[in-house]
Amino acid sequence: MRAGSLSGNHYLEEIKKIHHNSITEQIAEMFDKPLYCLRLVGKTIFKLLMLYPMDFKIHRDGKGANLREHS
């Protein structure tokens, strides 16, 4: 190995640090926005996926948690 050259592991560690820092920055930016922006983003994602709470039938043998829903 020449003087001044870095090993492959050192490069890998540097890439991990850069990736970790970018994720940390993205999370910080997300919480830096006003709460109403986050609510709008959440509603938009919810509408795009078209998922509703009644789609998750996990209680009472697949009948959902709401008893009135199945009477």
Question: What is the number of other CB atoms lying within 10 angstroms of the CB of residue 4?
Answer: 5
The predicted pLDDT at position 25 comes to: 72
Q: Highest-confidence range of 27-36, 37-46, 52-61, by mean pLDDT?
A: 27-36
Position 3 in a domain: no
**Nearest Cα to Cα of residue 61 among 70, 51, 53:** 70
The domain containing residue 22 runs over which residues? 11-53
Assigned domain for 30 exists: yes
Q: Are 21 and 29 in contact (CB under 8 A)?
A: no
Mean pLDDT of the chain: 60
Decide if pLDDT at 1 tops 50: no
Q: Is residue 59 part of a domain?
A: no
Count of structural domains, the chain: 1
Mean pLDDT, range 42-61, rounded to an integer? 56
58 belongs to a structural domain: no
Mean pLDDT of 24-35: 65
pLDDT 10s digits, 33-51: 655 555 555 565 556 555 5
**Tokens linked to 40:** 């709008």
